[in-house]
């Protein structure tokens, strides 16, 4: 009987595990030179701190804040000086000095400053949106980083075991106990795993480059091995998720700031029908009478609606405001739809993980045990053991893939919410959408 049977016992124990410990790679120089494990939280924090796009957006936020004060300030005054060149010689030198200050219609400066404040708020929300996108990308890449290393771990263990099975089959064939087909089948299965390992290794380099780009590192920079993925969590209800998204999502906050800015600009367009002022004071020595030399003046522009220019500006402001309201409604609808889809996807993956854990993994192990027992009894074929081993590999790898997909889909759900699920959530209040009722 085949001497590889004890090896099959080891195979059963290894591939029946739900996940393979990533620490086995710390001793493998072909995969990483860094033995420190990195958690998903650490990767997210590193990405948020080092991402250049976020730093650029922070500079934009700072610049927008600096623009608020100038928007609410008066225009510069004007100082004018005149003289009569013909009076430079003689006792009758004449000159005129004039100082004037423009003053807008009351309320205009306040509205301009308010518009600048709301514009600055949109830039603040842009930064929040970018941080949310970077965090989602980091979580997604970590899940893929975890999967690649777990899949490589499973693959390498199976390669080693299949190689041992092949050697044992060759020994048995040389002794005349079995045919050459057993060794050939083991060799085929081993070569297939080598091909899959090459694909996984390419994927590892690809994910490594993408993570390094996120961290502002060279593409080939070493990355710590991934720690285990977080455990599944209990999700809030769809109604709660929708309420959180409508209240917290920075995309909606940005549009609301745009609406406030459009309202301020609409009010400014209305005030443009009123005149602005200019106050002037001056000294004019051209006058012979000394009492006439000091002067005070006041002027206004005449806001005539030539070519309906002011009416057109007001109509444009009305249209801009309507656009922002429609965009808010559209974005709310899209976010609520995305939340429903994402939550459904998370629930589906939870079912898949449960099926793998409680049914497929035990069934695959039982199948391998049965193939082993039949072969011992002389009623089974060696190829049946190879097929059962391959099925065990696919099942174990499928569970790892499902766990990675769960984390990835959870990150998508958090992006739709606008906040992480591990952040304390205030009690939600019933919400309403402007244009339609949302029935969860």
Residue 10: is its pLDDT beyond 70? no
How confident is the model over 169-188, as pLDDT tens digits? 777 677 666 677 777 888 88
Work out the pLDDT band at 423, boundaries 50, 70, 90.
low
| CB-based contact 331:253 (threshold 8 Å) | no
Q: Which residues of 409-422 are buried (b: 16+ CB within 10 A; e: fewer)?
A: bbbbbbbbbbbbbe
Higher pLDDT, 382 or 193: 193
From CA 105, how far away is CA 273, in angstroms rounded? Answer: 10
β-strand partners of 96: 82, 284
Higher pLDDT, 220 or 434: 220
From CA 273, how far away is CA 108, in angstroms rounded? Answer: 11
How confident is the model over 288-345, as pLDDT tens digits? 788 888 999 999 999 998 889 999 999 999 999 999 999 999 999 999 999 999 999 9
Average pLDDT over residues 16-27: 37
Residue 421's pLDDT is what?
84
Residue 65: is its pLDDT beyond 70? yes
**Which of 116-125, 215-224, 278-287, 298-307 holds the top average pLDDT?**
116-125
Nearest alpha carbon to residue 19 among 411, 420, 414, 407: 407
Alpha carbon separation from 238 to 100, 407, 408, 415 (Å, rounded): 62, 18, 19, 15
**61-78+105-274+309-417: which CATH topology?**
Outer membrane efflux proteins (OEP) (1.20.1600)
From CA 326, how far away is CA 336, in angstroms rounded? Answer: 15
Residues in the chain: 440
| CB-based contact 132:250 (threshold 8 Å) | yes
Q: What is the DSSP letter of 17?
A: S
pTM of the full structure: 0.79
Q: Where are the domains of the chain?
A: 61-78+105-274+309-417
| CB-based contact 148:197 (threshold 8 Å) | no
| CB-based contact 402:298 (threshold 8 Å) | no
SS3 track for 43-100: HHHHHHHHCHHHHHHHHHHHHHHHCHHHHCCCCCCEEEEEECHHHCCCCCCCEEEEEE
**Region of residue 308 (phi > 0: left; psi between -120 and 50: alpha; otherwise: beta):** left
Residue 91's pLDDT is what?
73
**Which of 232-241, 318-327, 358-367, 421-430 holds the top average pLDDT?**
318-327
Alpha carbon separation from 133 to 105, 138, 304, 414 (Å, rounded): 43, 9, 49, 10
Work out the pLDDT band at 384, boundaries 50, 70, 90.
confident
Q: State the average pLDDT for the chain.
A: 85
**Percentage above 90 pLDDT, the chain:** 63
* Token pair of 139 as six digits: 């979580």
From CA 17, how far away is CA 7, in angstroms rounded? Answer: 16
Q: What is the DSSP letter of 289?
A: S
Work out the pLDDT band at 388, boundaries 50, 70, 90.
confident
CA atoms within 13 A on the CB side of 327: 16
Residue 177's pLDDT is what?
66
From CA 263, how far away is CA 128, in angstroms rounded? Answer: 23
From CA 222, how far away is CA 379, in angstroms rounded? Answer: 50
Residue 395's pLDDT is what?
93
CB count within 10 Å of CB 274 equals 14
Residue 15: is its pLDDT beyond 90? no
Work out the pLDDT band at 433, boundaries 50, 70, 90.
very low
| CB-based contact 120:249 (threshold 8 Å) | no
SS3 track for 125-176: HHHHHHHHHHHHHHHHHHHHHHHHHHHHHHHHHHHHHHHHHHHHHHHHHHCC
| CB-based contact 268:115 (threshold 8 Å) | yes
Residue 169's pLDDT is what?
72
């Amino acid at each position: 009987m085949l001497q590889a049977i004890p090896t099959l016992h080891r195979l059963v124990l290894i591939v029946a595990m739900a996940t393979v410990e990533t620490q086995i790679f710390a001793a493998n120089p072909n995969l990483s030179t860094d033995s420190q494990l990195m958690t998903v939280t650490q990767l997210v924090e590193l990405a948020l701190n080092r991402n250049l796009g976020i730093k650029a957006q922070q500079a934009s936020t700072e610049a927008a804040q600096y623009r608020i004060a100038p928007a609410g300030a008066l225009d510069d005054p004007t100082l004018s000086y005149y003289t009569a060149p013909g009076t430079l010689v003689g006792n009758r030198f004449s000159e005129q000095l004039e100082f004037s200050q423009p003053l807008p219609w009351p309320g205009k400066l306040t509205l301009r400053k308010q518009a600048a404040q709301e514009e600055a708020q949109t830039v603040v929300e842009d930064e929040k949106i970018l941080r949310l996108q970077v965090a989602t990308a980091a979580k997604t890449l970590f899940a893929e980083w975890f999967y690649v290393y777990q899949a490589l771990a499973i693959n390498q263990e199976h390669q080693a075991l299949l190689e041992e099975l092949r050697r044992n089959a060759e020994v048995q064939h040389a002794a005349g106990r079995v045919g050459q087909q057993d060794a050939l089948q083991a060799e085929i299965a081993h070569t297939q795993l080598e091909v899959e390992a090459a694909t996984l290794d390419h994927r590892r380099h690809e994910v490594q480059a993408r993570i390094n780009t996120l961290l502002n590192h060279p593409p080939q920079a070493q990355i710590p091995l991934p720690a285990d993925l977080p455990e599944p969590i209990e999700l809030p209800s769809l109604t709660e998720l929708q309420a959180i998204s409508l209240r917290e999502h920075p995309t909606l906050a940005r549009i609301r700031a745009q609406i406030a800015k459009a309202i301020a600009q609409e009010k400014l367009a209305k005030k443009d029908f009123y005149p602005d002022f200019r106050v002037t004071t001056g000294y004019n020595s051209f006058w012979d009478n000394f009492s006439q030399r000091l002067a005070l003046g006041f002027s206004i522009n005449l806001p005539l609606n030539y070519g309906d220019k002011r009416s057109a500006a007001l109509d444009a402001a009305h249209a801009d405001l309507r656009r922002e309201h429609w965009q808010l409604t559209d974005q709310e609808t899209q976010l609520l739809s995305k939340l429903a889809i994402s939550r459904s996807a998370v629930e589906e993956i939870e079912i898949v993980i449960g099926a793998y854990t409680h049914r497929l993994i035990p069934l695959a192990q039982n199948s391998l045990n049965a193939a082993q027992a039949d072969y011992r009894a002389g009623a089974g074929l060696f190829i049946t053991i190879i097929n059962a081993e391959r099925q065990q590999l696919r099942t174990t790898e499928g569970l790892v893939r499902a766990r990675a997909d769960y984390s990835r889909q959870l990150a998508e759900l958090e992006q739709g919410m606008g906040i992480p699920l591990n952040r304390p959530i205030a009690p939600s209040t019933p919400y309403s959408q402007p244009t339609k009722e949302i029935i969860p």
